[in-house]
A and B are shown apart, each in its own frame.
Chain A
Amino acid sequence: MRARETWRIIVLGCLVTSTLPLCAYTQSTTHSSNTPCEGADIDKDYCFRCHSNTTQLINVISELWRVEDMLVEPAKYARSNHAELNCLECHAYTWPFFPHQESVRNLRLSCLQCHQGEDKFAKFRFHYIEQQYNRSVHEENLPDTFSCFSCHDPHEFDIADPDDEIRYTIENSNRLCRKCHASLAEIAILTTRKLPRLEEGHSWLPGPDLHWKHVRCVECHTPHEEHFSHRILSAKTAERMCEKCHTKDSILLTKLYKHRVSETKQNYGFVNMAVFNDAYIIGMTRNIYLDWAFLAFIGLVVMGVGGHAGLRIITWKWRKKHGK
């Protein structure tokens, strides 16, 4: 125990010494932890010294304090939508000493603190997202433990690009859901409710693995609206009618393949070209020439058989009369 305390003092001393410029900076300003942060000149790399695995410092720190849930991957952060932001723009900097005050951990950050009221974010419709989210199953069942950050890690968030390959869009989207729903241990952290395993909950679905590979969870677990909805539906209210997707006018054309529809045109009679290069979806992938040919040939055969049978019936009496 004495050794442990000694180490703590040594590390603390090193950290404090190396942050003297920061102390000087923070003491000269006043800042409330509840207001949106202003920009700061502190380099992200400064924070990453502890809050990432890029240095060995984290190995020492984690021996003494719980930091595993405060790690950020610099490479992912650099690719995220928030890459240009300094850490201090979101995280309050009333922590001149290490470890930071407990209040920093409990700071209730919200996407809407930044992403609301500004014209440049209007196209993302954050106001509607909040409304939709408030009606979702997550908010209904986990109002205190669930938030935007439960799915969207702001340090890694990278909005889906319409030009991305569909399979990457599907993988990235489903990974968010599977992070919790594919792990009973993760669910147990959020709730005491006993939820079925993913496979059990989808046992009604033919070929669930195929579906998870080729469509996003949200295709069925969000309502069919003009814009993508954040109102996640429960197992009971999620879409279960197969024909909603497996049909020529599939709802997938307004969801997963929405951005492809503008490129859609018939090629050699294949409708729904949006999916052509990515998947074959029974009932949705159709060729109108083939379909019409099928129906025309069947019509011809029915007429031929009907005509032939009719003629046999008509000539039956004559054949009987003549003993044939």
Chain B
Amino acid sequence: MASRIYLYPGWLRVWHWTNALLFLLLILSGASMHYAQPGGLLIPFETAVSMHNICGITLSFMYLFFVLGSLISGNIKQYIPNPRGILVRLFNQAKYYLFGIFVGAPHPTHATLEEKFNALQQITYLQIMYGLVPIIIVSGWALLFPELAPEKFLGAGGIWPMAILHSVMGFFGALFMMGHFYLATTGDTVLANFKGMLTGWHNTHTH
């Protein structure tokens, strides 16, 4: 029997889609700056700089909004995996994605109000939202205001470690975006998870 639960409150959905758009624009503009060349195919450098700065600053404030919202609503608990049996849950989820999905095996985990994410999602989202994003924001601000960075670092200019860190985190962010977008298609239907993140409602199956 199919039923549905209200999994994603309004503030979370607004934050999610705003973040998605910002991430996309940041990746495009960041790549345009990093791989800039005259007559290149990417966004013109000058435009990319403005776009990256505006989106980066906006992302910073959206992140603060997310953290506050997560703390106030208790949503932060969703990102902390229960260590008991986690390895088994991780293995089962990975097995589903690598094999089970092709033979129509049932999802090993079903989303509930208490646990929206499977173990793989929890580990990944925890690292992204509380690891990658804060690092990329802090390093980004150091690039925007280089006077905040140390004058020298290991004998070289002090800004370059911030730049390397920012680039590497950006790269991993791009990888995450691709994987996240694709895995969102592994719901009951290809568009089920997208609809859920738009409406807030998630279809469940009572067995």
Contact = CB atoms under 8 A, between A and B. Distances in A.
Interface stretch (B8-16, B60-68, B108-116, B173-181): B173-181
B33 interface: yes
A324 B39 CA distance: 51
A277 B182 CA distance: 42
Interface in B157-199: 157, 159-160, 162-164, 167-168, 171, 174-175, 178-179, 182, 185
A275 B156 CA distance: 9
Contact of B171 (A247, A294, A319): A294
Contacts of B105: 324
A208 interface: no
Given A206-B49, A294-B171, A285 B182 contact: no
Contact of B45 (A246, A287, A315): A246
Interface string A297-309: 1100110010011
A305 B101 contact: no
Interface centre among B39, B50, B182 (most CB of A within 10 A): B182
B192 to A, nearest CB: 14
B35 interface: yes
A311 interface: yes
B124 to A, nearest CB: 14
Contact of B34 (A283, A312, A322): A283
Given A287-B164, A301-B178, A305-B179, A280 B46 contact: no
> Interface extent on B, as a size class?
35 or more
Interface stretch (A1-9, A152-160, A236-244): A236-244
Contact of B46 (A206, A298, A324): A206
Nearest to A249: B37
A322 B105 CA distance: 11
A10 interface: no
B159 to A, nearest CB: 4
B94 to A, nearest CB: 13
B157 A282 contact: no
Contacts of A319: 102-104
Interface of A: 204, 206, 210, 241-244, 246-249, 275-280, 282-283, 285-287, 290-291, 294, 297-298, 301-302, 305, 308-309, 311-312, 315, 319, 322, 324
Q: Which 8 A-B pairs have the closest CB atoms?
A: A324-B104, A242-B45, A283-B36, A319-B104, A280-B159, A243-B38, A247-B37, A206-B49
12 contacts: A242-B36, A242-B46, A243-B37, A247-B37, A247-B38, A277-B157, A279-B157, A285-B160, A287-B164, A294-B171, A297-B171, A308-B97
Interface of B: 33-40, 44-46, 49-50, 53, 97, 101-105, 146, 155-157, 159-160, 162-164, 167-168, 171, 174-175, 178-179, 182, 185
